[in-house]
Amino acid sequence: MDLHFTTDVPTDDEREAIDAVLGPDEASSPDGAPRVAMQNRGTPERRSLVLPALHALQAREGWISPGGLNHIARRLGVPPAELFGVATFYAMFSVEKRPKTVVHVCDDVVCRVNGATEVAMACRERIGPTHEENEGLMWIKSPCLGLCERAPAVLIQKAGRGRGNETLAPATTEWIRASVEDKKLVVEPPLLVGPATGRRLLARVGVVDPMSLDAYRAHGGYAALRRAIDIGPSLTIREVKDAKLLGRGGAAFPTGVKWEAVAQQPARPHYVVCNADESEPGTFKDRVVMEGDPFALVEAMTIAGYAMAAEKGFIYLRGEYPLAKALLENAIAAARVRGFLGDNVMGAGFRFDLELRCGAGAYICGEETALFNSLEGKRGEPRNKPPFPASHGLFGKPTGINNVETLVNVNLILGMGATAYAALGTPGSTGTRLFCVSGHIERPGTYEVDCGTPLSRLLEMAGGVRPGRTIKAILLGGAAGGFIGPNELDLPLSFEAARERGVTLGSGVVAVFDQSVDLVDTLLRIAQFFRDESCGQCVPCRVGTVRQEEALHRIAQKRTLGTLGDEVKLLDEIGQVMKDASICGLGQTAASAIQSAVTRLKVFEGGA
Amino acid sequence: MLWGSNARAAHPIFFHHVLKAIRKGAKLAVVDPRQTASAQFADLWLGLNVGSDIALSHTVAREIIVSGLANQAFIENSTSGFEAYRDCVMEWTLDRGETVTGIPAASIRELAHTYARADRAILCWTLGITEHHNAVDNVVALINLALLTGHVGRYGSGLNPLRGQNNVQGGGDMGAIPNKLPGFQDIETDALARARFEAAWGVPIVPKAGWHLTQMFDAMEHGTLRALYVIGENPASSEADVTRAQHLLGSRDTLIVQDIFMTRTAELAHVVFPASVSAFETEGTVTNSERRVQRVRKALDPPGNARDDIWIITELAKRLGAAWPLATAEMAWDELRSLSPMHRGMSYARIEALGGLQWPCPDETHPGEKFLHARLWEKDPEKRGRLAPFSPVVDDPPVDKISDEFPLRLTTGRKLDSYNTGVQTRAFASPLREGEAIEISPAEARSLGVRDDERVRVISRRGQVVAKVRIDPGLRSGLVFMTFHFPEEVETNLLTIDATDPRSGTAEFKAAAVRIERLDAQAAVS
Amino acid sequence: MSTQGYVSVDAPVRMITMDVDGRPVKVREGTTILEACKTAEIDTPTLCYASNLTPVNACRVCVVELEGARVLVPACARKAEAGMKVKTDTERVRHSRRLVLEFLGSSVDLSTASKSTHEWIATYEANPARFGADASMPPPPAASAAGETASHDRDHAEPGHHASPDVSSAATVAQAPKLDNDLYMRDYSKCILCYKCVEACGDDAQNTFAIGVAGRGFDARISTEFVVPLTDSACVYCGNCIGVCPTGALMFNTEYRMRKDGTWDESKQKVTSTICPYCGVGCDLELHVQANEIVKVTSPADNSVTSGHLCIKGRFGFSFVGNK
């Protein structure tokens, strides 16, 4: 392409950081044109280095500078305007110069009832207003960081050679100060995973050293892959089908059916992708799996690749999970060295390799087609479906995409056999499920229970609300889920029961609120979340999320247009068009929590 | 394959079609001394030495032949003269090709194999091929390649000279060629055609070819051409070696210029007829590069005393005593249809309804021909007609030789937002326009010690100009580039050579030898 | 034509039958629901759709109800399949179309949008003012509030952050027009983010990629890299973005100036189609002439040479006429 560049050039530092990701620059000679040029039309996989390159630049400089952007654009053959569009899509990238240390303070629905306000106040006192630099430091508010069980949470984005991002939870001012000063005071608290009994998916979490492949193998690791190799790809899929495993990402689609559809596609190559972009507010279970048992995900992805005839897999990890990133990088490297990844996996004659890619602060990229676009180095805008990923997924090729929890279930299925697995849970919801219990609860954490376990039992396991408090509301399934009231605690935690009750378990969020919560404030935060996270592609969601937030603010400030009833009706109409006409699940569910608060909790009855 | 064409800049909408094909998986090869905008889209770009096109073509041909990739069936069925052609290219080994063209042998081989193995291939060229002293040989060398591979006469294959002006094809169609009557009917050999025209016009048609432009200038020099009627041309700016052109034009007994602008040529004229803008102010037709006859329509009234060309010519005839009736454009067109068989089926109504028609279109049921020369594939000699001849041609480098005194090869070309001598494009404020400059490679800039925008003197064996420098990383060392869009600023054609192809009459605008001097250096010397 | 050579043969056309509003409709296989609606002579509103561009189905004003689908589907992009049952005039469809038009009407200046846009607003009884903004008034400049975001300038909005809403009015995309070159202007207050200009500048036609969609959510906008003026961007002034813009956000400077002076009058304009006077490609031009002056140049989207797209010379190179 005849690309055009502004006159901005990269600094040596920027060039070095970017080239470290993209490989050495065989730039055209400084003397002018050569004699011949053969254009490698930039394979799609090459373009997918856009996000890693932007990360490298951001991590070195603290912002996406014009010279750095030009360098990435030139190296990857991507037009600068398009690349600018990609960079400005993600909250973790800044195209304006920023200080090298930025404190992101989570003020989402769980943290805001568990100390976020105090952290924010401390930041305001010490640093000043949000978004403003003060002595090399800036702080801004953040959507959920996926550390709800240890709220309040903070992410510290640290740029410069040798520095790296860090999360703190529970965040104290002392810890924040230590982190911004690059002092290694922080001790990662243990993973909170409930009692050992009944833990299958979480059996190794907190038990084995997540850095050690040997420890993983000593605790049953790679037995599942060995069994898959023994029975072959089609029987592996058969097992997953017979186990009746349903996807844990929210849509509850039968995993085996999905795998079979991909395996049968004649187009090549096939890809497998792990959706580890866990960003539904209140969700943290995938993080716990990856931090506590990273090899399990690597093994499960290898099985998926083997079963679906893919030679390449990608894990798309949420950008705000630096610890999971480090542990997965270690696990992938160790597996490669030991022949569990590579040209001849386990000596079984098949090829499979994994790449870890990180998101950069965009909830929408958890939507599978948006994730593909993001991975491909484009804006994370969802695609219209059909066609579906099984035939037109990553790079337009047949792709099997599953979330972390779904994948590690496959290890379990192959380990215990489909029949035994299917005996767990209920007939309609086999196996166990991970729930993210947080909020006003005694022992927040990730809990694994058999599907069908009553919600009340789960809450008991987590110690219930604090003495003297009562439950006012529970947010099930996250911001895209819905509220239920204290009268619905008998709900069995199965897909069929949830469907029957008109609720969703979504990503396993169980955020508990006692009577101290200001529900309208929570709803405003949810509305703000969707307004911030809408990709902007389709009108219903792009404008609908704005109009929804405005209406809620008018209600909260008692400045309604017409009566309160008129505003509630308006909210309903806005919700309807978002649900009916949005391109993807984000818009389709952007009103669901708010609507559930209206209908189930009667939040506006008797005034706001 | 684009050979000597920067269609991205010179034919942007044609290039849109190329881009669509690329997106569908087509391969693009570009042969051009400069790494142009078009070259940047190419799978393979070959930056040959200016004027080594025949050498490259022959080397490609030999490689195709020795690799067994020639289309034997087509050669045997449809062509003549292959043996002589083969003998002529056989000395062009890859090594020799590399030496003469400057392109590594492996890349020439790549081009040869890509072209020959393609299921379908189109070869397009423009002035990079034709603005040479051996233009016709250059064209023939490319035609040979198409014959060798059978990439001709089939849908999606063929040869296509991209026309630089909206009606240069139409001019040829209408007989503005020294030896043709309208519809490409030969004035010397086609007695039947002559008879038709004689009957229609009531005058005898002299069976004698006229002069092309270069011959006209020679005739002016020899005093045999004393009066000139110039319609819509500006040779005083556009001819190579403009000093000579202006002198000859300015010394005619009678010079009439019919134009929409007061051009340099018009300034030299005894009489100027103010004309109308054909595309905007008149009715009529034009023919585009794909032989599509299209309607132009009057959208504006011409200003002042300007008249359309039909009116001017009819009026001139009247003043000269021939009472031609004033015709409408459609009447003139219908007369043409009655005389030119290939246009017969193209009524205004059909052109209108179908959005243009491609000739030949012999009758009103004919849909127009998508591509030519399909007959060559026929097995029946009757249907096949005349075999397509291979034409052995000889490599002949540019006339203006590189020397120690003139060490740089100057080539000329066009920019996206400008057009020829700039008389039409000067009027709109293009944000892209940077004016004339001598474009040089970064290496040249270093060795000359000049910076972007610095003014330098460019000197050829014929003249010199002062222009600012623009550094273009798409140029290699030794190669420099100018346009001639801004003659009022920098008269590039003071530098170019009027070595001209005897058959096409085109001058070698693409290859001059120059040197560049810093203005301050010169000042220091003098 | 020879039988030996390759001849262009159109693939055999298979017809399929589907059901639109209870009537059987026969359409070509591979076409869209929108085509089926056209065949059935049902008017379907479209904003982001253009026949010469890849559908992005972003505006969602063309949604219809498809039996068996959980949500409404975009008619412009959804392929027609045999046996499909589509309803185009249910309460659900009307509701979505009305709300989409209200959303756009309340956030974007539609004063120069196509005539059909205004007709659809009337047809679907859309009332953009119901969100608290008077759509007939020029939207207020983005007011600074609260101090929660670094910048309220839309061109510099940060993804994932926005100022708390101002309850006294509905948010709009208002910003100052961009006048940075001699040929055309950009007024993104009128931008409905249909992506057409980006497609025409990019893959679908010009392949220059001077502009892209930047930012996200309500702050998504069309931008050059780092918001540089067009004169520093890759723009080659083909004007194909203007050609596809449905709202007048992109406009010839001639039209912009005439509208400002109050002299723009489409009823006094005549459109004549002719052939471009420049290179030999033979692009069809439509000259929009008012008072014997060319005020705008377009090309028909269904033209086989141009597909509606031109280059700088064809689009803007007409000033020499009358300039003698």
Q: Subunits touching C (CB < 8 Å, at least 3 pairs)?
A: A, B
Interface contacts B/C by beta carbons within 8 Å: 194
Dist CA A325 CA B33 (whole Å): 49
Are A533 and A477 in the same domain?
no
Are A246 and A383 in the same domain?
yes
Interface contacts A/C by beta carbons within 8 Å: 218
Task: State the fold for domain C10-135.
Answer: Ubiquitin-like (UB roll) (3.10.20)
Mean pLDDT of B343-370: 94
Q: Subunits touching B (CB < 8 Å, at least 3 pairs)?
A: A, C
A37 and B44 within 8 Å at the Cβ level: the answer is yes
Does residue B295 surpass a pLDDT of 70?
yes
For residue A173, give its domain range: 101-180
Q: In terms of pLDDT, which residue wins out, B213 or A346?
A: A346
Give the model's pLDDT for residue B142: 97
ipTM of the complex: 0.95
Instruction: Band the pLDDT of C10: cuts 50, 70, 90.
Output: low
Instruction: Band the pLDDT of C138: cuts 50, 70, 90.
Output: very low
| Within a domain: A195 | no
| Four-residue CA torsion sign, A196, A201, A204, A210 | negative
Dist CA B451 CA B438 (whole Å): 12
Mutation for testing the A interface, residue in B441, B452, B471, B481 having most A CBs under 10 Å? B441
Are A365 and A500 in the same domain?
no
Dist CA A254 CA A236 (whole Å): 14
C217 and A535 within 8 Å at the Cβ level: the answer is yes
Q: In terms of pLDDT, which residue wins out, A346 or B241?
A: A346
Backbone angles phi, psi at A260, to 5 degrees: -65, -40
Every domain of chain C and the residues it spans:
10-135, 184-316
Mutation for testing the C interface, residue in A2, A72, A84, A369 having most C CBs under 10 Å? A84
3-state secondary structure (DSSP) of residue C142: coil
DSSP per-residue codes, A346-374: GGSS--BEEEEEE--S-GGGGSHHHHHHH
Of B11, B374, B432, the CB nearest to C312: B432
Work out the minimum CA distance from B481 to partner chain A, whole angstroms.
13
CB-based contact (8 Å) between B416 and chain C?
Answer: yes
C219 and A536 within 8 Å at the Cβ level: the answer is yes
Q: Which amino acid is at B361?
A: C
Backbone angles phi, psi at B498, to 5 degrees: -95, 25
pLDDT in tens, A390-434: 999 999 999 999 999 999 999 999 999 999 999 999 999 999 999
- What is the per-residue burial (b if ≥16 Cβ within 10 Å, else e) of B355-376? bbbbbbbeeeebebbebebbbb
Percentage of chain B lying above the pLDDT 90 cut: 82
pLDDT in tens, B212-241: 888 999 999 999 999 999 998 889 988 878
Work out the minimum CA distance from A1 to partner chain B, whole angstroms.
5
Mean pLDDT of C150-178: 87
Domain boundary among A514, A549, A568: A514
Work out the minimum CA distance from A291 to partner chain C, whole angstroms.
26
Which residues of chain B make contact with C320, given a CB cutoff of 8 A? 260-261, 277, 423-428
Are A297 and A418 in the same domain?
yes
Which residues of chain B make contact with A31, given a CB cutoff of 8 A? 441-443, 476-477
pLDDT in tens, A175-216: 999 999 998 765 677 888 888 888 999 999 999 999 999 999
Are A20 and A166 in the same domain?
no
Are A375 and A451 in the same domain?
no
Does residue B522 surpass a pLDDT of 60?
no
CB-based contact (8 Å) between C100 and chain A?
Answer: yes
- Looking at chain C from residue 244 to 303, which residues have their Cβ under 8 Å from any Cβ of chain A? none
Are A223 and A365 in the same domain?
yes
Of B40, B103, B104, the CB nearest to A1: B40
Domain boundary among A460, A491, A514: A514
Q: In terms of pLDDT, which residue wins out, C321 or B176?
A: B176
- Looking at chain B from residue 227 to 256, which residues have their Cβ under 8 Å from any Cβ of chain C? none
Does residue C145 surpass a pLDDT of 50?
no
B442 and A32 within 8 Å at the Cβ level: the answer is yes
Are A482 and A558 in the same domain?
no
Supply the CATH number for residue A445's domain.
3.10.20.600
Report the range of poorest mean pLDDT among A34-38, A163-167, C263-267, C279-283: A34-38
Supply the CATH number for residue A69's domain.
1.10.10.1590
Does residue A607 surpass a pLDDT of 80?
no
Task: Please calculate the CA angle A222-A226-A229 and round it to the nearest 5 degrees.
Answer: 140
Q: Which of C255, C232, C234, C229 is nearest to C243 (CA)?
A: C255
For chain B, which domains are there?
Answer: 2-162 (3.40.228.10), 212-272 (no CATH), 408-525 (2.40.40.20)
| Within a domain: A191 | no
| Within a domain: A200 | no
Whether C252 contacts C263, CB under 8 Å: no
Dist CA A588 CA A585 (whole Å): 5
C324 and B419 within 8 Å at the Cβ level: the answer is no
What are B466's strand-pairing partners? B457
Dump strand ranges (E) for B328-461.
357-358, 388-389, 408-412, 437-440, 455-460
Give the model's pLDDT for residue A36: 86
CB-based contact (8 Å) between C290 and chain B?
Answer: no
Which residues of chain C make contact with B370, given a CB cutoff of 8 A? 1, 8
pLDDT in tens, B128-147: 999 999 999 999 999 999 99
DSSP per-residue codes, C159-191: TT--PPP-TTS--------B--SSSEEE-GGG-
C6 and B155 within 8 Å at the Cβ level: the answer is yes
Does residue C286 surpass a pLDDT of 90?
yes
Domain boundary among A489, A514, A539: A514
C99 and A82 within 8 Å at the Cβ level: the answer is no
Instruction: Band the pLDDT of C11: cuts 50, 70, 90.
Output: low
Domain C184-316, CATH: 2.20.25.90
Are A474 and A368 in the same domain?
no
Are A70 and A169 in the same domain?
no
| Within a domain: A153 | yes
Of B43, B44, B474, the CB nearest to A33: B474
The mean of the pLDDT values for chain C is: 90
Supply the CATH number for residue A565's domain.
1.20.1440.230
pLDDT in tens, C197-235: 999 999 999 999 999 999 999 999 999 999 999 999 999
Residues 6+ positions from A549 with CB-CB distance below 8 Å: A524, A527, A528, A530, A531, C165
Nearest CA in chain C to B290: C281
Give the model's pLDDT for residue B326: 85
Does residue C4 surpass a pLDDT of 60?
no
Does residue C144 surpass a pLDDT of 70?
no
3-state secondary structure (DSSP) of residue B518: strand
Give the model's pLDDT for residue C6: 42
Percentage of chain B lying above the pLDDT 70 cut: 99
| Within a domain: A336 | yes
Give the model's pLDDT for residue B506: 84
- Looking at chain B from residue 264 to 283, which residues have their Cβ under 8 Å from any Cβ of chain C? 274, 277-281
Instruction: Band the pLDDT of C139: cuts 50, 70, 90.
Output: very low
Query: SS3 string of A85-121?
Result: HHHCCCCCCCCCCCCCEEEEEECCCCHHHCCHHHHHH
Give the model's pLDDT for residue A110: 97
Give the model's pLDDT for residue A41: 60
Q: Do domains C10-135 and C184-316 have the same CATH topology?
A: no
3-state secondary structure (DSSP) of residue A451: coil
Dump strand ranges (E) for A384-534.
399-403, 432-439, 445-450, 471-476, 482-484, 509-514
Work out the minimum CA distance from B163 to partner chain A, whole angstroms.
23
Work out the minimum CA distance from A531 to partner chain C, whole angstroms.
7
By CB neighbour count within 10 A (0-12 exposed, 13-18 middle, 19+ buried), where does A607 fall? Answer: exposed
Q: Identify the DSSP state of C283.
A: -
Percentage of chain A lying above the pLDDT 90 cut: 91
The mean of the pLDDT values for chain A is: 95
Which residues of chain A make contact with B444, given a CB cutoff of 8 A? 32
Work out the minimum CA distance from A388 to partner chain C, whole angstroms.
13
CB atoms near residue A335 (< 10 Å) = 25
Give the model's pLDDT for residue B107: 96
Residue carrying the six token digits 């029961």: A497
Are A247 and A392 in the same domain?
yes
Dist CA C14 CA A189 (whole Å): 65
Mean pLDDT of B282-311: 93
- Looking at chain C from residue 154 to 183, which residues have their Cβ under 8 Å from any Cβ of chain B? 181-183
Give the model's pLDDT for residue A30: 66
Whether C305 contacts C238, CB under 8 Å: no
Mean pLDDT of A80-104: 97
Supply the CATH number for residue A256's domain.
3.40.50.11540
Are A138 and A259 in the same domain?
no
CB-based contact (8 Å) between B46 and chain A?
Answer: yes
CB-based contact (8 Å) between A187 and chain B?
Answer: no
Whether A92 contacts A107, CB under 8 Å: no
